Amino acid sequence: MCLMHGNNTKDKYIFINYLRLFLFFSFSLYALSQLLFDTRPVAKRRRRGGCDIPTSAVHLEFLMHRVSSANLNPLQLSAAIQIYVYELPRKFNEDWLVDKRCSNHLFAAEVAIHQNLLSSPLRTLNPDEADFFFLPVYVSCKFSPKTGFPSIGHAPRTIHSAVSLVSSAMPYWNRSKGSDHIFVATHDFGACFHSMEDMAMEQGIPGFMRNSIILQTFGETTWHPCQDVENIQIPPYISPLAIAPYMLPPEEQKRNIFAFFRGKMEIHPKNYSGRMYSRGVRTAIYHRYGRNKLFYLKRQRAEGYQAELLRSIFCLCPLGWAPWSPRIVESVVFGCVPVIIADNIALPYSHAVDWNAISLKVREIDVPRLAKILLHVAATNLSVIQKNLWKEENRQALLFLEPLRIGDATWHLLDLLSRKIGRSHATRSPRALFNTEI
């Protein structure tokens, strides 16, 4: 009995093991089939489209598409791109960073973009794979010992020597004559590299840069020799770290300054053969509203500038030598309605930021009516503008965050760059064809 019982148990044991094995196989097979041939969502999708493709093939294509789009376009840009960042001798870039001003002043997008590219998933270490080539030269980190401002006279020479280096060492510049190469020129008049408009126009863009793509803060709505080049208008640099302590939610802000401006306002502007600083606009503002209680106008630099922006309802952004100003970005970031006074100014990322919804434009000749205009807005649509202004996506679009985030200033510039994929030499290669096909 014992034996029989034993045999019986043994049989049972074997049976159970077979059963287990069978179940294991069935489940595995089922799971595998689910993995390989579960085409329900795809089949449904396709059927709606009226296609009659074998479902497993569709699924394979679907999977490949998912894999490839994640790999080739990790930042979800308008087109998948890869960028090669030239490694230049440190004297062209990194060496300047010992001066903290270099990575923080209003032209410092040249540093932020370079650093963000180095760590971005779009960077390729293989130049043969690249759609675009980035030349990292920090030209505005040379500060004038007299004024403390960036001196940019050396920029064309410095950039030219960087181009000589890369064009003699590698074939990529020569094969496209620089047309898929990218430079940053964040000065008053972009790649014209002079802060006085007439001199900038006379000097023009250096010949060797005219085929390339320039990332610049300068922008006008009408033709101008300093933007007569393939370019992307980017916002001026405001350090995200420096503003972080001031980012209060709107309900916690007390805005008790009606209209604010702190900056250079000449009492008697010099006439440089017909050209006057700010075309006389800042002087007009000062004379007209210097004693008006609604206006808080200061001519000197001072500590607490950020707190003043945070306390203000309207922030005046009149032109200086150039139409653009870091004040436009500062105002948006600090939730103060930018009042832009610069005829013909083009604003950065206007494809993504609805400037009409978040700012006011006042014509230069309307400065005498400025108080009236602002009071009218305060009485009518101010709260609408403020609500638009406080949308996170607007502020994020104008800040170069580190590391870059989808929707920030670096991301928007990469997205605009990806739409210029046709300029890429690599586009004509088989890899790029494959890349855009799937």
Ligand X SMILES: *[C@@H]1O[C@H](CO)[C@@H](O)[C@H](O)[C@H]1NC(C)=O
- Contact call for residue 242 and ligand X (CB under 6 A): no
Residues, the chain: 438
* Three-state secondary structure call for residue 84: strand
- Contact call for residue 385 and ligand X (CB under 6 A): yes
- Contact call for residue 350 and ligand X (CB under 6 A): no
**CA–CA gap between residue 260 and residue 297 (Å, rounded):** 6
- Contact call for residue 167 and ligand X (CB under 6 A): yes
The nearer residue to ligand X, 167 or 306, going by C-beta atoms, is 167
Q: Which residue stretch of 59-67, 103-111, 154-162, 376-384 sits at the interface with ligand X (rule: CB under 6 A)?
A: 376-384
Q: At what angle do helices 409-418 and 109-118 cross, to 10 degrees?
A: 70
- Contact call for residue 274 and ligand X (CB under 6 A): yes
- Contact call for residue 165 and ligand X (CB under 6 A): no
Helix (H) or strand (E) holding 44: helix 40-49
Instruction: Kindly give, in sequence order, each residue whose CB lies less than 8 Å from that of residue 314, ignoring residues fewer than 6 positions away.
Output: 258, 259, 260, 336, 337, 339, 360, 374, 377
**CA–CA gap between residue 95 and residue 89 (Å, rounded):** 9
Among 384, 406, 433, 438, binds ligand X (CB under 6 A): 384
Q: Which residue stretch of 11-19, 206-214, 253-261, 378-386 sits at the interface with ligand X (rule: CB under 6 A)?
A: 378-386
- Contact call for residue 273 and ligand X (CB under 6 A): yes
Among 53, 357, 375, 401, binds ligand X (CB under 6 A): 357
Q: What angle do CA 180, 183, 184 make, to 5 degrees?
A: 145
The nearer residue to ligand X, 11 or 198, going by C-beta atoms, is 198
**CA–CA gap between residue 109 and residue 104 (Å, rounded):** 9
Q: Which residue stretch of 87-95, 219-227, 269-277, 297-305 sits at the interface with ligand X (rule: CB under 6 A)?
A: 269-277
The nearer residue to ligand X, 123 or 177, going by C-beta atoms, is 177
Cross-strand pairs, 315? 260, 338
The nearer residue to ligand X, 236 or 320, going by C-beta atoms, is 320
254 within 8 A of 307, measured Cβ to Cβ? no
- Contact call for residue 271 and ligand X (CB under 6 A): yes
**Least distance from ligand X to the Cβ atom of residue 363, Å:** 11
The nearer residue to ligand X, 166 or 238, going by C-beta atoms, is 166
Q: Which residue stretch of 120-128, 337-345, 375-383, 398-406 sits at the interface with ligand X (rule: CB under 6 A)?
A: 375-383
**Least distance from ligand X to the Cβ atom of residue 322, Å:** 19
* Three-state secondary structure call for residue 257: strand
Dig out the tokens for 27 from the structure.
């489940």
**Least distance from ligand X to the Cβ atom of residue 284, Å:** 11
Q: What is the CA radius of gyration of the chain?
A: 30
Q: Which residue stretch of 73-81, 100-108, 381-389, 411-419 sits at the interface with ligand X (rule: CB under 6 A)?
A: 381-389
Helix (H) or strand (E) holding 176: helix 172-176
- Contact call for residue 153 and ligand X (CB under 6 A): no
Q: What backbone torsions phi and psi does residue 220 show, to the nearest 5 degrees?
A: -130, 155
Instruction: Kindly give, in sequence order, each residue whose CB lies less than 8 Å from that of residue 81, ignoring residues fewer than 6 positions away.
Output: 122, 131, 132, 414, 417, 418, 421, 424
- How many CA atoms within 13 Å lie on the side-chain side of 160? 10
- Contact call for residue 207 and ligand X (CB under 6 A): no
**Least distance from ligand X to the Cβ atom of residue 295, Å:** 19
The nearer residue to ligand X, 196 or 401, going by C-beta atoms, is 196
Q: What backbone torsions phi and psi does residue 271 show, to the nearest 5 degrees?
A: -100, 100
**CA–CA gap between residue 9 and residue 60 (Å, rounded):** 48
The nearer residue to ligand X, 144 or 174, going by C-beta atoms, is 174
**Least distance from ligand X to the Cβ atom of residue 88, Å:** 16
The nearer residue to ligand X, 71 or 381, going by C-beta atoms, is 381
- Contact call for residue 381 and ligand X (CB under 6 A): yes
Residues that bind ligand X (CB under 6 A): 167-168, 171, 174, 271, 273-274, 356-357, 376-377, 380-381, 384-385
